[in-house]
Chains A and B, each alone.
Chain A
Amino acid sequence: MLDAKTRYKLIPYAFLGIPVTIYLIWIIGPMLYSFYLSFTKWDGLTSPEFIGAKNYRMLFQDEVFYISLSNNLEWIILFMTVPIVLGLTLAMVLNKDIPGAKTFKASFFLPMVLSLVVCGLVWSWLYSPHSGLINEVLRRIGLGKLATGWLSNPKVVMESVIAVAIWRQVGYVMVLYLAGLQSVDQNLLDASEVDGANAVQRFFNVIMPQLAPVTVIVIVISIIDSLRAFDLVSVMTRGGPYNQSSVLANFMYIEAFNNYRMGYGAAIAVIIFIISLMFIMFYLTRIAREETNA
């Protein structure tokens, strides 16, 4: 039998045994299979046919790919910045002892509880050019010129969809920051106040740095969700009109499941993965650095 020391060494592996096995079978395995698929032509029914890098070549010549890419980029930028700014502001405001603070907090978080399908449906109506609330209001206050088909006008469609995602996300970010604010060191804050720092300086030099862990989590989650964004686009526009609101996840789904070009879809998914990987690496290196410093 193994001696105590070796047995002790094996313990972590024992703990990891079941989760890792399940993970390998259901996640890693299929993922690798998809990497393989991206080099094939497959309609989902007959056997895949190896075609080398042809899918990728076609992809890089596909204008929809570039449209999706830039849409995803736009999504990431807006989805990161706006909720952070709004969420943090709300958290700062609601962190004080004002009447009904709890109700306010719950109100902003509520959209997060709704499923994306519901959000997409409701907002599709709000955006309706003829009878939707937004255009109605614009016309009533004399800004009728701005009234447009929010989901059919190629110039604003992507922003209109992202707005819904943001509407949903702000409350969530707010809650994260509220929690983060609880752990801001009050002593440090008071000390800086005594030192003569004004509100703005206190905010940027004392509060923000202490909120850094929260900010990092928020950024990571924002990027994950941006790249995965599918439900809203699917429900509201299906990537239309003519692909102007297409995002990579949606593009992949349509190619793989509507057009039965599984190999092609797999290639798109691989690209999504590689992009995600870049952000993960960035995050991980930061963590690694922190851990070696600690």
Chain B
Amino acid sequence: MKNKIVVSVLAVLFVLGMAPLFAGGQQEGAAEGGQAADQDVVVYNSYWADPEPKRVEAELMEMFREQNPDAKVIHSTVAHEDFKQAIRAYLTSSAPPDVLTWFAGNRARFFIDKGLIMDISDVWEEAGWNENYAKGFRAMSSVDDKQYFLPGSWYWWAIYYDTRVFDEYNIEIPETWDELMAVCEKLKSNGVTPFTVGTKYRWTAAAWFDYLNMRVNGPEFHINLMLGKESYDDPRVLKVFNEYWGPMIDKGYFVESPASYAWAEAIPFMTNGDAAMYLMGDFIRDSYPEEDLQYLDFFRFPIIDPNVPVGEDAPTDGYFIPKKSQNPEMAKKLLKFFGSKEVQEYVAKELGRLVTNNKVDTSVYNENQMKGREIINKADYVAQFYDRDTTPEMADKGMNGFMEFWQNTDQAEEITDKLEKARQQLFEE
């Protein structure tokens, strides 16, 4: 009878479906089957989901396996945005991954302060990192003089521009604000939009706030604002909005409807000549079309007030070990591996990133990297970027505020009032 057949099919499906349940409990690794369960397992979750870094990481895992044949590394890549949520689940579970990627700065501090991260001062000591890593990096990894974090790589931010456009209109690299405004006017009068930007995910707008605030009011004020120690309705903040940012938007120095584009979607405006510059991190190279790369160059964000110390954004990524790691020994081994000179050199070469270990031979850096490095070395202060320097809640409100301002440049007062209210609520909670 037809019904009997359908029911039996369902039953079979049921059984088939249940079978993998019992397989689901084991952890499959990239290794072949037939491995005994008493292998030394180390679980590593990372957010390097972009194609290039993902590839390089896979290669690094192979290298690690070769060096440690008794170890079984289970490496999972999680999309960047999702990782930010998933890490909460990781850190509170009773069996978290053994090594995790994460951001330096406030974000790491947040978990360290809650006692969720393992103290790795011993690793720093044993691997010699106390000598091999710059003071700044060591400082950013420490809380109360104990180390919890391993900085891995970093990149700089700058104004990237298309050399063809600059050549065509005989534009020189601007070093002061007035020069930059002159450049913008010149471009505009020739039918080129000075700046492209895609603010769909908001952080590109935050970049402008970071730089303008640091240039106008100095990095100390900026960082204190990030830490919730200064007010958003301070006249200094209003100055940034009303005297610098607002006028730029009003004069049409940015492309239209930036909120419709993810950051990478705004690149075509530059490559097809509609726009000339982009305030962006060095990873712009990864997304830039091959044939246009040779025309891409960058310069430091111009100085607005020469009396103010120079702050730059140079977000740093790294690793740490959850306190509840099931295999701290292997985890520390993996960490030492990541922090070693050879791995760092490999990453520098393959990904064009700047790495943190001093011992790395600077000859692995190409011309661009040296140039970027120089900008950062000249800086008086290195910030981690708006949404890593301040708390997640404040970053969310702040970035929404920037987006609202971009749409309504006459509302700076109302917007900063809102942000200040949020700051009081969030930092005093």
Interface residues of B in 384-405 (CB under 8 A from A): 392-393, 396, 400-401, 403-404
Residue interface bits A233-273, CB-to-B below 8 A is 1, else 0: 00001101111000000000010011111000000000000
Stretch at the interface among B122-130, B255-263, B342-350: B255-263
Is B239 interfacial (CB 8 A cutoff)? no
Q: For the complex, give the distance between the alpha carbons of A129 and B265 in Å.
A: 11
**A152-B393 contact given A44-B88, A45-B114, A242-B401, CB 8 Å threshold:** no
Is B190 interfacial (CB 8 A cutoff)? no
Q: CB distance B403 to A45 under 8 Å?
A: no
Is B215 interfacial (CB 8 A cutoff)? no
B residues within 8 A CB of A46?
114
**A152-B114 contact given A45-B88, A242-B403, A243-B400, CB 8 Å threshold:** no
Q: For the complex, give the distance between the alpha carbons of A238 and B203 in Å.
A: 13
Total residues of chain A contacting the partner, CB 8 A? 29
Contact pick for A151, options B91, B259, B269, B396, CB 8 Å:
B259
Q: CB distance A240 to B396 under 8 Å?
A: no
Interface residues of A in 131-185 (CB under 8 A from B): 148-154
Is B407 interfacial (CB 8 A cutoff)? yes
**A152-B396 contact given A241-B403, A241-B407, CB 8 Å threshold:** no
- For B116, the closest partner residue in chain A by CB is A45
Chain A binding site: helix, strand, loop or mixed by DSSP?
Answer: loop
Is B300 interfacial (CB 8 A cutoff)? no
- For B393, the closest partner residue in chain A by CB is A259
Q: CB distance B260 to A127 under 8 Å?
A: yes
Q: For the complex, give the distance between the alpha carbons of A29 and B418 in Å.
A: 37
- For A128, the closest partner residue in chain B by CB is B260
Contact pick for B407, options A127, A129, A154, A261, CB 8 Å:
A154
Q: For the complex, give the distance between the alpha carbons of A153 and B400 in Å.
A: 14
B residues within 8 A CB of A127?
260
Q: CB distance A238 to B88 under 8 Å?
A: no
A residues within 8 A CB of B259?
149, 151-152, 240-241
Q: CB distance A241 to B404 under 8 Å?
A: yes
Is A85 interfacial (CB 8 A cutoff)? no
- For A58, the closest partner residue in chain B by CB is B425
- For A153, the closest partner residue in chain B by CB is B257
Q: For the complex, give the distance between the alpha carbons of A154 and B411 in Å.
A: 15
- For A239, the closest partner residue in chain B by CB is B400
**A260-B393 contact given A46-B114, A240-B403, A241-B404, CB 8 Å threshold:** yes
Q: For the complex, give the distance between the alpha carbons of A45 and B91 in Å.
A: 8
Interface residues of A in 73-119 (CB under 8 A from B): none
Is B84 interfacial (CB 8 A cutoff)? yes
Q: CB distance A149 to B92 under 8 Å?
A: no
Total residues of chain B contacting the partner, CB 8 A? 30
Q: CB distance B429 to A41 under 8 Å?
A: yes
**A129-B425 contact given A45-B114, A240-B403, A242-B407, CB 8 Å threshold:** no
In angstroms, how far is the closest chain A Cβ from the Cβ of B148? 15
A residues within 8 A CB of B258?
152
Residue of A46, A63, A241, A254 with most chain B CB atoms under a 10 A cut-off: A241
Q: For the complex, give the distance between the alpha carbons of A153 and B257 in Å.
A: 8
Residue interface bits B32-63, CB-to-A below 8 A is 1, else 0: 00000000000000000000000000000000
In angstroms, how far is the closest chain B Cβ from the Cβ of A183? 23
Q: For the complex, give the distance between the alpha carbons of A152 and B202 in Å.
A: 12
Contact pick for A242, options B91, B261, B404, B429, CB 8 Å:
B404
**A259-B403 contact given A58-B425, A240-B202, A241-B259, CB 8 Å threshold:** no
Is B201 interfacial (CB 8 A cutoff)? yes
Q: For the complex, give the distance between the alpha carbons of A257 and B231 in Å.
A: 26
Q: CB distance B256 to A149 under 8 Å?
A: yes
Q: For the complex, give the distance between the alpha carbons of A166 and B258 in Å.
A: 26
In angstroms, how far is the closest chain B Cβ from the Cβ of A266? 15
A residues within 8 A CB of B261?
128, 130
In angstroms, how far is the closest chain B Cβ from the Cβ of A101? 27
In angstroms, how far is the closest chain B Cβ from the Cβ of A22? 16
Is B294 interfacial (CB 8 A cutoff)? no
Interface residues of B in 78-102 (CB under 8 A from A): 84-85, 88, 91-92
A residues within 8 A CB of B425?
58
Interface residues of B in 249-287 (CB under 8 A from A): 256-261, 265, 269
- For B114, the closest partner residue in chain A by CB is A45
Q: CB distance A260 to B91 under 8 Å?
A: no
Which 7 A-B pairs have CB atoms at the shortest separation, nearest pair first?
A149-B257, A152-B259, A259-B393, A242-B404, A152-B260, A242-B403, A242-B400
- Given A152-B258, A258-B85, 19 other A-B residues pairs in contact with their CB atoms under 8 A: A44-B88, A45-B91, A45-B92, A45-B111, A45-B116, A58-B425, A128-B265, A129-B256, A129-B257, A130-B261, A152-B260, A153-B257, A238-B201, A240-B403, A243-B400, A257-B85, A258-B396, A259-B392, A261-B393
Residues of chain A at the chain B interface (Cβ within 8 Å): 41, 44-46, 58, 63, 127-130, 148-154, 237-238, 240-243, 254, 257-261
Q: List 9 A-B contacts (CB under 8 A).
A: A45-B91, A63-B418, A128-B265, A149-B259, A242-B401, A258-B84, A258-B85, A258-B396, A260-B88
